[in-house]
Every structure is written in structure tokens, then in C-alpha cells.
Amino acid sequence: MTTSTILRHLISIRDGFKKVDAITRGLGARPQQSELEAALIKRGIIVNDEIDGKARELTVAYPDWRTRARGDGALRSIIEEAEGFMHSILRMDECLAMAVGQRMDEVKSKLGSLRQTSRMAYSYTTQSTLRARH
């Protein structure tokens, strides 16, 4: 009975990671800000409710579940699948972070260019106004 309960919890945790993985994959390489924000909210809910919640329940009910899982091939297999999804999510998050960083650099560059253009326009306007008064 204990192994089946642990198995159900681990499957739920693995499935939670699978959902987070699918949401992250669905974003693509350069998601829009609104898509990214919506995905992060969905992911947060899944992590909180399905992954962390089930992990806490499992640890409270069976503090030694890790020891039992190491000795059981089916449990170990589910854990390995969950870890695979975790690693996949981490890699995708790193790529997304780089894409967001690049986008921020582009925005900074455009703002710098806009600032320079504004300074030039201000200077031109000031000079034109001074010339018109004389």
C-alpha cells in the first residue's frame, strides 16, 4: 500500500513538471511579454499546487520515501522522468532569460538613440529660436 501511495504522488509530481515543460516549450524562442507573463503565472500555480503541494504531502506522510524509492525500480523511473523534465525546463529557462536579456539590450539601445535624437532636436530648436529672435 505504501509503494502505491508514493507512486501516485511521484506520478503527480512528474506530471506537474511535464505540464510546466509543455507550457515553456509553447512559448518558443522569443515570446511576447504578455505570453511570457501568462506562462509564468500558469507555471507558478502548477509548481505550487501540483509539485510542491504533492512533495510536501509525500514527505509528511512518508519521511523515508527517498530511501524506498531508491530500492524500487518503478519509483526510481518516475523520479528520473521528473528530473529529466526539470533539466529540460532549466535549459529552456536559460534560453528565455538570454532572449529577454537581448530584448532589454535592444530597448536600452533604442532609448539611448532616442535620447540622443531628443538632445539634437532640443539643440536645433533652441538654436532656431535664438536665430529667430535676432
Domain locations in the chain as residue ranges: 2-133
Q: What is the pLDDT along the chain (134 residues), one digit of tens a residue?
A: 588 999 999 999 999 999 999 999 999 888 888 999 999 999 999 999 999 999 999 999 999 999 988 899 999 999 999 999 999 999 999 999 998 888 888 888 878 787 878 877 777 777 766 666 66
- In angstroms, the CA 121 to CA 113 distance is 12
CATH number of 2-133: 1.20.58
Helix, strand or coil for residue 62? coil
Q: Write the burial class of residue 7 (CB in 10 Å: 0-12 exposed, 13-18 middle, 19+ buried).
A: middle
pTM of the model: 0.77
Query: CB atoms < 10 A from the CB of 36, how many?
Result: 15
